[in-house]
Amino acid sequence: MPAALSICLLAALSANHSALVTPSSSDYNSSLAIYNLNLPIYPAAVTYPSSTEEVAAIVKCAAEGNYKVQAKSGGHSYGNYGWGGESGEIVINLANLDGYSYDDSTGYATVGAGSRLGPVTTALYNSGKRAIAHGSCPDVGIGGHATIGGVGPTSRQWGATIDHVVSATVVLANGRIATVSETENPDLFWALKGAGFSYFVVTEFVFKTEAAPVGGVSYTYAFQGLNASAQSQVFKDFQTFISNPDLSWELYIMMVGLPEVLEITGAFFGSLDDFNALGLEQSFSIPPAANVTVIPNWLDMVAIWATESETAEEPAYFYAKSLDILPDALLSNDTIDSMFEYLTTTPDDALTYELEVQLVSGAMAEIASNATAFPHRDVLYWIFAYASTNGTVSETTIDFLDGFNNVIYDAFPNETFYAYAGYVDPLLTNGPELYWADNLPRLEEIKKEWDPRDVFHNPQTVPVGEGSSGEC
């Protein structure tokens, strides 16, 4: 790193030498705790600011030195985008920015952008039993989650994490500190809700909160040792059940498919009687092994999901993909048969693979697809496919997952299937088109106005719109 940059960064960090890690630091390698081991990354510097002002000074140093910048919150990007997603960037690790406060009079919580979901959930619950929508893994960072989407168990009732953001403090590409909200810098506020990593570093969020659910029902229906045709039947029954437009928004439901077992699992935020009245168990033509438990409070419910996600939290060599299914383009029986035929007969050299099929819709679909940068409001369910390997992910495994998605693409040759930017797929050549769909042109214009030199960059950030750039 050039000496001038090093001096600038050290000054930005109030001369705190331990807050600046560079390739010449003895702890450089041990500090690179990347999540996707398949994508090793070597940043130009990793910084640990303690205030918004320090973040602003770091961004100024980076911009002046023509370096790219990414913030790191929880480090759970599938593409290691919190580390820049490519070598040579300046990483702003927000771990020290993890403050929390709650205002009783508004029901708003102020949360430091370096916080993790687990502590945020607990702090909200301890603030008069409040909650926001978010995913189920406690180590995911609020910084990356509340700027990309944040879809989880209560999303059918409350929308995504982004839908709870009422304002945020951000550092812009020129190092200026600004507030974004419906009334202040509304374009940037819109961009924050689904594409934040392209525009700024958020240092603090203000969230509107909801009354936490009073517990509910946790359930798993497991199907073991089925052949391809029986697995296919479970999927057909599942799709029929979740495509009922009158299905309760209090139901959180997903299908998790491993080679040997299929599980329908989730939660119902209501009474056991109301859960039983949904007729979920009776909807399967093949009897499952049922495990249904009443959970007395929200934190116990959250703890179940945390336990279930322990393995997924660990760094691994993996590749993953996502695709959306719309309510008016459900998979036909033939396509479902082909999917399971494919999965059971196609060679892969994965250690393990997993399909996760998650119903969304409900409150998510009540918001217009152009109301936030996150466009996927009309999605009925997502199919996430994941394969982990013992070492570097091979072409065979990549082809295996690509081929799985191709089974579905081939069934709808005139349809575009979109992808969720929260589960980035670094191998997509048209990532921004698939992540932001019809919202991409507006995002490109906003990028041109606020970050024309593309300071905030990873391999799939919003490109700078064409034409002359404005001032920021």
Ligand X SMILES: Cc1cc2nc3c(=O)[nH]c(=O)nc-3n(C[C@H](O)[C@H](O)[C@H](O)COP(=O)(O)OP(=O)(O)OC[C@H]3O[C@@H](n4cnc5c(N)ncnc54)[C@H](O)[C@@H]3O)c2cc1C
Stretch of 292-300, 305-313, 404-412, 435-443 contacting ligand X, by CB under 6 A: 305-313
Do the bridges between strand 100-103 and strand 69-72 make them parallel or antiparallel, or are there none, so unpaired? unpaired
What does DSSP assign to residue 210? E
> Cβ 424 to ligand X, closest distance in Å?
7
Distance CA 5, CA 61 (A): 7
Do the bridges between strand 289-295 and strand 317-325 make them parallel or antiparallel, or are there none, so unpaired? unpaired
Stretch of 139-147, 178-186, 249-257, 325-333 contacting ligand X, by CB under 6 A: 139-147
**Which C-beta is closer to ligand X: that of 77 or that of 388?**
77
> Cβ 71 to ligand X, closest distance in Å?
4
Helix (H) or strand (E) holding 334: helix 333-345
**Which C-beta is closer to ligand X: that of 120 or that of 336?**
120
φ and ψ of 46, to 5 deg: -115, 125
Q: Is 313 in the site for ligand X (CB under 6 A)?
A: yes
**Which C-beta is closer to ligand X: that of 200 or that of 340?**
200
Q: Which two tokens stand for residue 248?
A: 């309760």
Q: Is 266 in the site for ligand X (CB under 6 A)?
A: no
3-state secondary structure of 353: strand
Distance CA 181, CA 9 (A): 30
Q: Is 173 in the site for ligand X (CB under 6 A)?
A: no
Q: Is 75 in the site for ligand X (CB under 6 A)?
A: yes
Give Cα separations from 141 to 144, 184, 279 (angstroms).
6, 25, 36
Stretch of 46-54, 129-137, 397-405, 427-435 contacting ligand X, by CB under 6 A: 129-137
Stretch of 7-15, 131-139, 396-404, 430-438 contacting ligand X, by CB under 6 A: 131-139
3-state secondary structure of 87: coil
Binding test (CB under 6 A) with ligand X, winner from 49, 74, 159, 257? 74
Q: Which two tokens stand for residue 26?
A: 């003895």
Q: Is 137 in the site for ligand X (CB under 6 A)?
A: yes
Q: Is 147 in the site for ligand X (CB under 6 A)?
A: yes
What does DSSP assign to residue 306? H
- Span 193-212, contacts to ligand X by CB under 6 A: 196-197, 201-202
Q: Is 56 in the site for ligand X (CB under 6 A)?
A: no
Helices (H) then strands (E): counts for the chain: 15, 18
Binding test (CB under 6 A) with ligand X, winner from 49, 141, 426, 465? 141
Q: Is 457 in the site for ligand X (CB under 6 A)?
A: no
Distance CA 155, CA 159 (A): 4
Q: Evaluate whether 332 touches 128 at the Cβ level (below 8 Å).
A: no
Binding test (CB under 6 A) with ligand X, winner from 90, 140, 191, 331? 140
Binding test (CB under 6 A) with ligand X, winner from 152, 215, 266, 431? 152
Q: Evaluate whether 100 touches 114 at the Cβ level (below 8 Å).
A: no
**Which C-beta is closer to ligand X: that of 281 or that of 378?**
378
Nearest to 78 by CA among 439, 435, 447, 370: 435
Distance CA 217, CA 290 (A): 13
> Cβ 406 to ligand X, closest distance in Å?
24
**Which C-beta is closer to ligand X: that of 12 or that of 201?**
201
Q: Evaluate whether 32 touches 41 at the Cβ level (below 8 Å).
A: yes
Stretch of 133-141, 283-291, 393-401, 441-449 contacting ligand X, by CB under 6 A: 133-141
**Which C-beta is closer to ligand X: that of 117 or that of 336?**
117
What does DSSP assign to residue 36? B
Q: Is 175 in the site for ligand X (CB under 6 A)?
A: no
Q: Evaluate whether 326 touches 364 at the Cβ level (below 8 Å).
A: no
Binding mask 99-118 for ligand X (x = CB under 6 A): --------------x-----
Query: Which residues, in sequence order, are bridge partners of residue 170?
Result: 178, 202
Q: Is 375 in the site for ligand X (CB under 6 A)?
A: no
Q: Is 81 in the site for ligand X (CB under 6 A)?
A: yes
Distance CA 349, CA 353 (A): 10
Size of site (CB under 6 A) for ligand X:
36
Q: Is 90 in the site for ligand X (CB under 6 A)?
A: no
Site residues for ligand X per CB under 6 A: 70-77, 81-82, 94, 113, 135-137, 140-141, 143-145, 147-152, 196-197, 201-202, 309, 312-313, 422-423, 458
